[in-house]
Amino acid sequence: MNSLPTPTVILRDVPVFKAFLNTEMQAAMVQDLRAVVAAAPLFRPVTMRGKEMSVRMTSAGKFGWVTDRKGYRYEPRHPSGVDWPAIPQSVMNVWDAVSGSARRPESCLINFYDEDAKMGMHQDRDEADFDAPVVSISLGDSALFRVGNHERGGKTESVWLDSGDVCVLSGPSRLRFHGIDRVKPNSSTLLGKGGRINVTLRVVT
Ligand SMILES: O=C(O)CCC(=O)C(=O)O
Ligand SMILES: [Fe+2]
């Protein structure tokens, strides 16, 4: 395996690679993601309790993460019934560079945040194997990313994730609570209409 790059900062065991993708790589990835969204449109999920999430989402890969009245889970197809598109190579390349994992990601979740969207503190624990990391890529407007503990509550630390930044939840940080407090409107020109895309890669089975 290639040696892993050195993180810019480590926040609560979470390595953050600032500006991991240059502007050209970001633009190319956005094009690839637009093709995914064209085939598997963004939808607004609702939680088990019937509350709409503020992010819109879709997925690529063998499995996509969904939530509805039946709860959180991975599904082999988009809610419309179409297969999830393949994970773009531009996204796979980031996994290869930073995951340190011999396994292949089976799911690529694409979250779109408009200026009012946020994501409450949660753990990523719908996967069967917590030994495999979660790799996260930020594109577009900057977002305040908060990292907490292995239980809900307690002290937290935050970092702004800017367009092109990559971070990894693995080992001691794999099950840390984390969330997005807010997005800073007009902080990036990458997406024509503004907003933020977060892409997360996961091994699911
Ligand atoms: O948007 C982000 O940076 C984090 C997304 C996240 O935590 C998730 O999709 O599970
Ligand atoms: Fe998460």
Q: List residues, by chain if needed, whose CB lies under 5 Å from ion ligand 2.
A: 124
pLDDT score recorded for residue 1: 56
Complex-level ipTM beyond the 0.95 threshold = yes
Domains of the chain listed by start with CATH number: 9-202 (2.60.120.590)
Smallest-distance ligand from the CA of 201: 1
Distance CA 42, CA 104 (A): 24
Specify the pTM.
0.97
Name the pLDDT band for 2 (thresholds 50, 70, 90): low
Count the Cβ atoms, other than its own, within 10 Å of residue 102: 7
Note the pLDDT tens digit of each residue in 121-158: 999 999 999 999 999 999 999 999 999 999 999 999 99
Ligand nearest to the CA of 174: 2
pLDDT at residue 93 greater than cutoff 90: yes
Ligand 1 pocket by C-beta < 6 Å: which residues? 109, 111, 119, 124, 136, 138, 143, 145, 161, 178, 180, 198, 200
Largest CA distance in the chain: 45
